[in-house]
Amino acid sequence: MSLLGRMKETYDYIFYDLCDPRTRDWSPSPVVVYTIIPFYLYFCNKLGPQLMKDQKPFKLKRLIMIYNIFQIIASGYIVYLGLYSGWFSTYSWTCQPVDETDNPTSRTMHKAFWTYTVVKFIDMLDTVFFVLRKKDRQISFLHLFHHSMMPLASYIGLKYYPNGHATLLGLINSFVHVVMYTYYLIAGLGPKYQKYIWWKKHLTTMQLVQFATIFLHNLSALYENCGYPRWISTILCVHSLQFLYMFGNFYYVSYVKENKSNSNGNLKNGTSKVKAN
């Protein structure tokens, strides 16, 4: 067999034969997926800022409002499907194996997983909007890492293990997104609505709780052998710890350290005023 023939055989084995037969045709070619993510990173880091360098920022208020409403509805739908298809009833919270049978419950979870995967790719528009509005300072390493890893992880899960223990991640993440995009929607309505979003700080707290829960949930599957692939639980444990560290650092810099600096600044200003008097 020629080299090209072996490469095609290996490609078919990895991206077709090993896939779950119930969902392997639900997603586009892996070539498309593994092209979208690198292009996203290139556009947000290089191409986009270069194209916008001499342009005025786009005013996307109405588009972003529609986008936020879509995210709230789609994420809420995923939470509903995830609860209805197992997590509210039959799934084990400590270790849930992959259901390899074809039944209404597993099909509902597959639908939830597919919807979640599509939404994770749509999430990339968050960064595209930053670029088009020339909000480059809001494009951090954490932001890019999060929006490139989540669609990749969900795509792989959809292809190979479209139900079971790890699907709780998508349910929790979608619930957090309902709250997060509700905040974005209210914030985008204008200054007079600022009083309704006093809970901005708690969004990051929710993210931290989310990743801590995902870590503990997948850690339990490493100790209780129910047949769910332990290598996936191991990766998700490491993955959640990475995000826990990065979001924790963001929380510290944004809220704890900033509050300390403001407090010290106020004390110095107060001391100066006393001396001046």
pLDDT, position 267: 46
Active site residue 147: no
Low-confidence ranges of the chain (pLDDT < 70): 1, 258-277
Query: Within 134-199, where are the H helices?
Result: 141-160, 167-187
| Backbone angle region of 134, left / alpha / beta, with phi > 0 → left and psi within -120 to 50 → alpha | left
pLDDT, position 262: 59
155 contacts 122 by C-beta, under 8 angstroms: no
pLDDT, position 261: 61
Q: Please, what's the b/e burial string for 232-257 (b: 16 or more CB within 10 A of its CB; e: otherwise)?
A: bbeebbebbeebbebbbebbeeeeee
Reported as a single tens digit per residue, the pLDDT across 30-68 is 888 889 999 999 999 999 999 999 999 999 999 999 999
Q: Which two tokens stand for residue 125?
A: 């528009």
Q: What is the DSSP letter of 21?
A: T
pLDDT, position 260: 63
pLDDT, position 273: 40
| Backbone angle region of 20, left / alpha / beta, with phi > 0 → left and psi within -120 to 50 → alpha | beta
Of the candidates 110, 143, 146, 202, the residue annotated as catalytic is 146
pLDDT, position 274: 37
pLDDT, position 268: 53
